[in-house]
Structure 1
């Protein structure tokens, strides 16, 4: 089974992806880890896309965590399930600001980011916070458009809370146990 995990920054994608990986034992590719190793150039975009292709070809069952809708076609073509994490914008903003402060103090607090990634509290960071605020009205609308245009039967699951995530993972673990017995 191949999973895409998408949602606003601060929605818990990376944490949920690691939890899903524990249940499914599928290989995980955290897209932020890849992307933030680059210089964000056009060459980097090509490399980023190629790395996703290699990962898909190399793994029978996988999880990819991250949005990057501009280059998502390949992921959507090969995915079975899209898990969309929808949390309130204020919660996303709070989580992002909190994790940024934690990472300044302890870079190891975000294992899903490369050690070389430096977050600065500057204009770019403010733009990022604006992106988070606008996510439900811009990115989700773009995602819905992409989903309408998909030819494969991608199952979409929307999880809105920690409880939803926990219930989903418990059901998945129960299904796995029943298949194994």
Structure 2
């Protein structure tokens, strides 16, 4: 595992998982949210998203990249040797985003660009609620096409996430 893409619903724990995995195997962690958002929650253009990621993926060093950004996901999936899909229950993701909002009230998260204070919008709630129906089938389809040429790991519960991380940390 030298080039790892982590995907999953908002609230699935992608950033926390990425940090822990990065510490365990000594790879740089890149949180796409820190690069895709300018101050005041201004999303960079699609062309900039693509360019930023192409530069990241061209690095000769290993990396862990967490984030979805469907427009450019295929770039990361193709460049990765390992893809980890945190396919956790909707109720857990919803609970986590609410807790995250409370915990980081009026502050920026460590995986977010400084100055973009944590917020919880109706649009984001709908995105997380609808992820299983609207985004998950496309991601699973992409991963099925890649499972013969790449290591694809799908984790469905907190227990599976912990077991995976403990296995890596113990290795």
Question: Which category of TM-score, normalised to the shorter sequence, fits these structures?
Answer: 0.7 to 0.9
Contact 1:4/1:65, CA 8 A, preserved across alignment: yes
Contact 2:88/2:158, CA 8 A, preserved across alignment: no
4+ residue runs over 6 A deviation:
none
Does 2:25 align with 1:24? yes
Q: 1:56-135 counterparts in 2 under 5 A?
A: 56-105=57-106, 107-108=107-108, 110-120=109-119, 125-135=121-131
Residue 81 of structure 1, CA deviation: 1.1
Distance 1:49 1:101 in 2: 32
Contact 1:80/1:154, CA 8 A, preserved across alignment: yes
Q: 1:151 to 1:88 in 2, by over 3 A?
A: closer
Question: Gaps spanning 5+ residues in structure 1: where?
Answer: 176-181
Distance 2:148 2:46 in 1: 25
Structure of larger gyration radius: 1
TM-score (norm. length: structure 2): 0.87
Question: Gaps spanning 5+ residues in structure 2: where?
Answer: none
Distance 2:170 2:76 in 1: 27
Contact 1:77/1:152, CA 8 A, preserved across alignment: no
